[in-house]
Amino acid sequence: MDCQCLTCESPRRRLWSWKRKPPLTEIAAENWMALLKCPDCGQLWCEVPHEPYASFLFWTAWPSTEEQWRRLIQIDQGRILHDWHDAVLREDHALLEGEEKEAVAFWRERTYRHYNPIDRSPEFSKPKYCSTSKDIEKYVEQGG
Ligand SMILES: [Zn+2]
């Protein structure tokens, strides 16, 4: 049986776009990333404003705890978490449908299919810690 949260659609969904903002509650914000919580199932989500003008928001489902997020956001200006967030975006954007799919296509055009973590032109900073979303497992302390 497909048991997913009706509010944030976790665990089926790992990515939301600004086009359809889920009703999440912010619990922390630092280094260009906010941590939010689903009021219904408690799933944690990371919000990052993307260019241009930091006006394109994406939320990715955080697979660990609030404590781990608070620890990792302090390291290298949150670069580990930002690399992971970008990897989820790269891996799951094609799963978005309808107006969200159109929104991502618009955003990629808006960034000239260069300056975004999906298209990643040579000028776009390369991942330092997480090339894939699974790489975050190397940095999360288990049972911590
Ligand atoms: Zn939920």
Q: Is residue 143 part of a domain?
A: no
Q: Is residue 142 part of a domain?
A: no
Give the per-residue pLDDT at 108.
96
Rounded distance from Cα 9 to ligand 1 centre (Å): 6
Q: Is residue 5 part of a domain?
A: no
Q: Which of 90, 72, 91, 97 is nearest to 9 (CA)?
A: 97
As a whole number of angstroms, the distance between CA 98 and CA 100 comes to: 5
Q: Is residue 131 part of a domain?
A: yes
Question: Around ion ligand 1, which residues have CB less than 5 A away?
Answer: 5, 7-8, 10, 38, 40-41, 43
- For the chain, 144 residues long, the average pLDDT of each consecutive 10-residue run is 86 95 96 97 97 93 98 97 97 96 96 92 88 97 72
Q: Is residue 82 part of a domain?
A: yes
Question: The whole model's pTM is what?
Answer: 0.94
Give the per-residue pLDDT at 7.
96
Give the per-residue pLDDT at 142.
81
Domains contained in the chain, number: 1
Rounded distance from Cα 43 to ligand 1 centre (Å): 5
Q: Is residue 144 part of a domain?
A: no
Q: Is residue 6 part of a domain?
A: no
Range of the domain at 32: 15-137
